[in-house]
């Protein structure tokens, strides 16, 4: 990467680009103007500029400036400084946060989110370490607070398309690295040497997939080439940071496509190793089909502005691994609840060292899965208590998904659909008329009926 030369940017004047101030958040403009009036340079940067050029509404607005974090605190009352590895100013306006970063002189991962120093493996100990900057022996940046100028700042950004600056001084767009052409060609091209940049921060591999899925961009060949080879570097990323990235990949409206790309580059295997291992074994392959359908449904909900929950997502992501664990612990055709619970816990425990799932999602996820066998018990008034369970809705949606891939009886799913629509007296009459039955889990190898159905549907080979 070339940080020693200071190239001149291509400056695209206001009249020659499509960004209109009306499309920029009023709060972001307030921050930009206040900085400018105080005599600082101030630019809108990153995803917001990219999205505005693409005609998409930006998710958030980031600002880059030559004001230092302490200057920011003086200028903005509603400002908080965050991050150790990477100092940032957050300016709060009600629900909206405008993130302001001081220009930096060297390549650095932008985010602090979920960064847990405790979770770093011991081989991540710094080999270069000073107050401002620390790098481990693999070249991974642990801390970076060396401030610089805009023409230094640009080299630490990830993709050309993410490295455009919109200048509040005259509303021009500054392009140092061919970002405008990348956006026109709809491609992601890493700035600098792709392999070195992935080594500095392996999360950039997930970002490549995320933006390719979100924007429908191609990944330029030299940027794409190292992905498969370097996928294992994700193993050294703090699991809490991978949790944040996982949510962005799967809960932003393009999860199905992100999943296909993660599989294509062998990245998924390093995020959810046990799930990936289960998906290739015949008895559990349907769990992958559930995941794919679940992701399509989730995308539709996000696009329709409906709520989506990490709880359901992780249930679908881990179900295959849970079933496999249960079988390997010797559960027979009708595994009991204790075996299911044990399997959930074993899978969750192993998962924490990759993508850490916070307890507030892990606990309800386990409840959701533990309710699955209870759907099989329909005889007697007690069975109706399931309808009152706080996790009923999510567990019922999960049952529908199982029925959709032939892993649960469609008649069972219809029963639980129907029973929700009728008055209590009719429910009681229905459950009293049923003979007693066992509460089996679909942990055993699939029944003949399920196999037939799966074949008709064409199976679920990874794409």
132 binds Mg ion (CB under 5 A): no
Query: Which of 136, 158, 175, 409 is the catalytic position?
Result: 158
Interacting residues with ligand ATP (CB under 6 A): 46-47, 59-60, 62, 109-111, 157-158, 162-163, 201, 203-204, 207
- Residue 182 among the catalytic residues: no
Q: Number of helices and strands (H, E) in the chain?
A: 21, 13
Q: Shortest distance, CB of residue 203 to ligand ATP, whole angstroms?
A: 5
Nearest residue to ligand ATP, by Cβ distance, number only: 47
397 binds Mg ion (CB under 5 A): no
Identity of the residue, 198 or 375, whose beta carbon is nearer to ligand ATP in the bound complex: 198
d(CA 407, CA 422): 26
Query: Which of 60, 151, 235, 244 is the catalytic position?
Result: 60
Could you say which of 32, 40, 44, 47 contacts Mg ion (CB under 5 A)? 47
Name the token pair of 423. 């008055």
Residue 162 near which of ligand ATP, Mg ion, none (CB within 5-8 Å, type-dependent)? ligand ATP
Q: Shortest distance, CB of residue 104 to ligand ATP, whole angstroms?
A: 10
Identity of the residue, 104 or 450, whose beta carbon is nearer to ligand ATP in the bound complex: 104
Identity of the residue, 188 or 256, whose beta carbon is nearer to ligand ATP in the bound complex: 188
Identity of the residue, 254 or 314, whose beta carbon is nearer to ligand ATP in the bound complex: 254
Tokens 């075996």 belong to residue: 339
d(CA 412, CA 400): 9
Q: Shortest distance, CB of residue 101 to ligand ATP, whole angstroms?
A: 8
Q: Shortest distance, CB of residue 415 to ligand ATP, whole angstroms?
A: 42
Q: Report how far apart, in Å, the C-alpha atoms of 311 and of each of 281, 394, 395, 454 are.
A: 25, 9, 10, 27
- Residue 62 among the catalytic residues: yes
- Residue 60 among the catalytic residues: yes
141-144 β-sheet, strand order: 126-129, 133-136, 141-144
Residue 42 near which of ligand ATP, Mg ion, none (CB within 5-8 Å, type-dependent)? none
What are the DSSP calls for 310-349, one per residue? HHHHHHHHHHHHHHHHHHHTT--SS--HHHHHHHHHHHHH
Which range of residues in 56-64, 73-81, 223-231, 244-252 is near Mg ion by CB under 5 A? 56-64
Residue 106 DSSP one-character state: S
Name the token pair of 24. 């920029």
d(CA 98, CA 274): 38
d(CA 33, CA 39): 10
Helix-helix angle 285-303:255-264, to 10 degrees = 140
Q: Report how far apart, in Å, the C-alpha atoms of 137 and of each of 3, 10, 140, 355, 370 are.
A: 21, 36, 7, 23, 44
Coil, strand, or helix at residue 453?
helix
Residue 201 near which of Mg ion, ligand ATP, none (CB within 5-8 Å, type-dependent)? ligand ATP
Identity of the residue, 47 or 226, whose beta carbon is nearer to ligand ATP in the bound complex: 47
Could you say which of 29, 41, 56, 60 contacts Mg ion (CB under 5 A)? 60
Identity of the residue, 227 or 287, whose beta carbon is nearer to ligand ATP in the bound complex: 227
Q: Shortest distance, CB of residue 59 to ligand ATP, whole angstroms?
A: 5
Q: Shortest distance, CB of residue 42 to Mg ion, whole angstroms?
A: 16
Residues 209 and 83 sit within 8 Å (Cβ to Cβ): no
109 binds Mg ion (CB under 5 A): no
Residues that bind Mg ion (CB under 5 A): 47, 60
Active site residues: 60, 62, 158
């Amino acid at each position: 990467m070339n940080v020693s030369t200071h190239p001149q940017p291509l400056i695209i004047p206001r009249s020659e680009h499509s960004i209109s101030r009306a499309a920029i958040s009023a709060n972001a403009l307030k921050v930009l103007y206040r900085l400018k009036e105080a005599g600082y340079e101030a630019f809108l940067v990153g995803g917001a500029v990219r999205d505005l050029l693409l005609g998409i509404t930006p998710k958030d607005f980031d600002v880059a400036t030559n004001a230092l974090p302490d200057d920011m605190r003086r200028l903005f009352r509603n400002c908080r400084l965050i991050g150790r590895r990477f100092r940032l100013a957050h300016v709060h306006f009600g629900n909206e946060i405008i993130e302001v970063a001081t220009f930096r002189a060297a390549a650095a991962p932008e985010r602090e989110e979920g960064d847990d120093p405790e979770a770093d493996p011991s081989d991540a100990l710094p080999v270069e370490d000073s107050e401002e900057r620390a790098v481990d022996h693999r070249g991974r940046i642990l801390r970076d607070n060396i401030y610089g100028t805009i023409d230094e700042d640009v080299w630490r950004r990830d993709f050309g398309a993410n490295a455009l600056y919109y200048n509040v001084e005259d509303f021009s767009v500054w392009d140092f690295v061919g970002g405008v052409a990348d956006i026109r060609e709809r491609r992601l091209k890493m700035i600098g040497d792709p392999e070195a940049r992935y080594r500095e921060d392996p999360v950039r591999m997930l970002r490549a997939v995320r933006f390719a899925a979100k924007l429908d961009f191609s990944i330029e060949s030299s940027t794409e080439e190292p992905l498969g080879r370097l996928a294992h570097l994700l193993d050294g990323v703090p699991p809490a940071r991978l949790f944040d990235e996982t949510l962005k990949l799967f809960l932003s409206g393009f999860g199905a496509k992100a999943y296909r790309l993660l599989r294509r580059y062998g990245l998924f295997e390093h995020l959810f190793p046990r799930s990936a291992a289960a998906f290739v074994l015949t008895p559990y392959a349907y769990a992958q089909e559930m995941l794919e359908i679940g992701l399509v449904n989730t995308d539709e909900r996000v696009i329709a502005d409906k709520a989506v929950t990490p709880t359901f997502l992780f249930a679908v992501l881990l179900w295959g691994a849970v079933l496999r664990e249960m079988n390997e612990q010797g559960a027979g055709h009708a595994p009991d609840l204790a075996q299911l619970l044990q399997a959930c816990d074993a899978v969750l425990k192993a998962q924490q060292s990759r993508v850490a799932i916070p307890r507030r999602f892990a606990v309800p996820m386990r409840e959701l899965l533990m309710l699955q066998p209870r759907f099989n018990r329909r005889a007697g008034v007690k069975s109706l208590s399931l309808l009152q369970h706080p996790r009923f809705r999510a567990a019922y949606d999960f049952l529908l998904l199982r029925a959709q891939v032939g892993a649960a009886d469609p008649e069972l799913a219809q029963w639980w659909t129907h029973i929700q629509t009728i008055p209590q007296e009719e429910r009681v009459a229905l459950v009293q008329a049923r003979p007693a039955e066992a509460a089996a889990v679909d942990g055993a190898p699939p029944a003949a009926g399920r196999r037939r159905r799966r074949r008709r549907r064409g199976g679920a080979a990874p794409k």
